Amino acid sequence: MNRATVFAAIAAPMLLAACGGDPPPPEYGANPTLPDPQRGLLPSMVIADPGEWGDRRPVVPAGYEISAIATDLLIPRQTLVLPNGDILVAEGRGGNAPKLKPKDVVAGPIKSAGTTTAKSGDRLTLLRDADGDGAYELQTVFADNLNAPYGLALIDDALYVANQDALVRFDYTDGQTRASAPPVEVTKLPSDINHHWTKAMTAGPDGRFLYVGIGSNSNITERGMTAEVDRAMVWEIDAQTGMHRPYATGLRNPTALAIQPGTGQLWAVVNERDELGPNLVPDYLTSVREGGFYGWPYSYWGQNIDPRVMPQDPEKVASAIVPDYALGSHVAALGLDFSTPAMGAGFAEGTFVGEHGSWNRSDPVGYKVVFVRFQNGRPVGDPVDFVSGFQVDGKTYGRPVGVTVDPRGALIVADDLSNTIWRVTPTRQRATPAAP
């Protein structure tokens, strides 16, 4: 019997006691109904049971097709489509936070059983489809010996990579397949403890600034506020000098960032706090206002106070911004990109969101890519499943992370459980051949 199985057997009675029956379905949009907090010895927990894809494929809407364009990767997280159509994949796993409480010792091995057994790649892999037939015949390492790379951005001839401990830069020439030199450090990023290690990133509309998401060092300040210095925020970083400042704060774990076309507005998906029940607190999609405060740790979804945080800060709570759109609690949104008309009329205006999937819930949610429609520049309606079928009949075949829209008409999805890159296109569409 392996370690995770032993822990699961020990914890099962406590977990069942915590579940308390089937939770109601999640609510979406600008005005979700928030239930009263629920707390117990251990949170509700159902962990993914990994299975092999075999002949299965994720499910996409009628009129679309999906193919695996890269397999056997080493924990793919985020992707970047380069101007010539090549795709860069950031691979790796970070974090080094020590266990704090007995529940962490019990929950940790159980949660890890629902993730890949692959080692951390700590590299960038390049994929190329030279003839535009949808099959990426070249799969090669672009750069290695990185430190849990996650966020990627290209500004002119500079490729930026957000490692878990630093923002670094490579010189890039269109069409190259291997970095020509080791990266240059632009600035350090907070990395002590690294409870939330991922460093999401996007480039600003004019290329002057980079925006990097830095998650909290705890669920809800269990390590004290000193550990949260420079955490739970988005940094604005001068791409040339590395000078930086807090752009927005109170964002518990901003896991993906994107610039809205036509407006230049920064948007983020944020993973909210755990252990308040199956329908608290909603993970969310939101515009990110310069100087804005979004509640963590003192409150959630605006002015809803979290009584676990002491001392409180009424002034901060009063200033907390209500997010734009609830995605549902515990969906673990890790990917975000804006669509283009090339994705088809039904998915032309809005965002794709990669949902890695819940653990803090007896009835699993997430494990799919959803589309959130926009109207007049704002999200509207319920999310629509765009790529699903990752979890079927108790088995989990994949877990979506990053999503990237290829402007030629494809959605690129990183799956860090099966270590696959998926490509979704309108049926019979093929990519334009890359330039020589």
Q: Which residues of 45-65 are buried (b: 16+ CB within 10 A; e: fewer)?
A: bbbbebbebeeebbebbeebe
Identity (one letter) of the amino acid at 243?
M
Residue 144 DSSP one-character state: -
| pTM for this model (two decimals) | 0.92
> Helix crossing, 3-19 with 102-112: angle to 10°?
110
Please give the Cα distance from 30 to 27 (Å, whole number). 10
Pairing of strands 123-128, 87-91: antiparallel
**Is residue 317 within a helix (H) or strand (E), and if so which, with residue range?**
helix 314-319
**How confident is the model at residue 108, as a pLDDT?**
58
Rg (C-alpha) for the chain, rounded Å, is: 20
Tokens 């970095």 appear where? 179
Q: Between the CA of residue 201 and those of 80, 166, 421, what are the distances in Å?
A: 11, 12, 20
* 412 contacts 406 by C-beta, under 8 angstroms: yes
Give Cβ neighbours of residue 203 (< 8 Å, ≥ 6 apart): 153, 154, 155, 160, 209, 210, 211, 239, 259
| Closest listed residue to residue 256, CA positions, set 229, 292, 284 | 284
| Closest listed residue to residue 254, CA positions, set 271, 267, 238 | 271
**Is residue 4 within a helix (H) or strand (E), and if so which, with residue range?**
helix 3-19
Give Cβ neighbours of residue 97 (< 8 Å, ≥ 6 apart): 193, 194, 195, 217
Q: Which residues of 392-414 are buried (b: 16+ CB within 10 A; e: fewer)?
A: eeeebbbbbbbbbbbeebbbbbb
Identity (one letter) of the amino acid at 41?
L
Tokens 């962990």 appear where? 47
Please give the Cα distance from 397 to 59 (Å, whole number). 12
Please state the φ and ψ torsions of residue 386, each to the nearest 5 degrees. -110, -40
List, in sequence order, every residue forming a beta bridge with 431; answer none if it has no partner: none
**Is residue 314 within a helix (H) or strand (E), and if so which, with residue range?**
helix 314-319
Give Cβ neighbours of residue 19 (< 8 Å, ≥ 6 apart): 44, 362
Give the number of other CB atoms < 10 A from CB of residue 146.
21
List, in sequence order, every residue forming a beta bridge with 79; answer none if it has no partner: 89
* 385 contacts 368 by C-beta, under 8 angstroms: yes
Domains and their CATH numbers in the chain = 3-21+33-426 (2.120.10.30)
Tokens 């350090």 appear where? 188
**How confident is the model at residue 236, as a pLDDT?**
98
**How confident is the model at residue 23, as a pLDDT?**
61
| Closest listed residue to residue 301, CA positions, set 277, 278, 325 | 325
* 425 contacts 413 by C-beta, under 8 angstroms: no
* 139 contacts 70 by C-beta, under 8 angstroms: yes
Please give the Cα distance from 391 to 17 (Å, whole number). 24
**How confident is the model at residue 188, as a pLDDT?**
98
Quick one: tokens of 27?
Answer: 């609510």
**How confident is the model at residue 258, as a pLDDT?**
98
How confident is the prediction along the chain (436 residues), in pLDDT tens digits per residue?
343 443 443 344 344 334 445 567 778 999 999 999 987 666 667 788 999 999 999 999 999 999 999 999 999 999 999 999 999 999 999 987 776 665 565 555 656 666 788 899 999 999 999 999 999 999 999 999 999 999 999 999 999 999 999 999 999 999 999 999 999 999 999 999 999 999 999 999 999 999 999 999 999 999 999 999 999 999 999 999 999 999 999 999 999 999 999 999 999 999 999 999 889 999 999 999 999 999 999 999 999 999 999 999 999 999 999 999 999 999 999 999 999 999 999 999 999 999 999 877 778 999 999 999 999 999 999 999 999 999 999 899 999 999 999 999 999 999 999 999 999 999 975 555 544 3
* 402 contacts 256 by C-beta, under 8 angstroms: yes
Please give the Cα distance from 141 to 123 (Å, whole number). 7
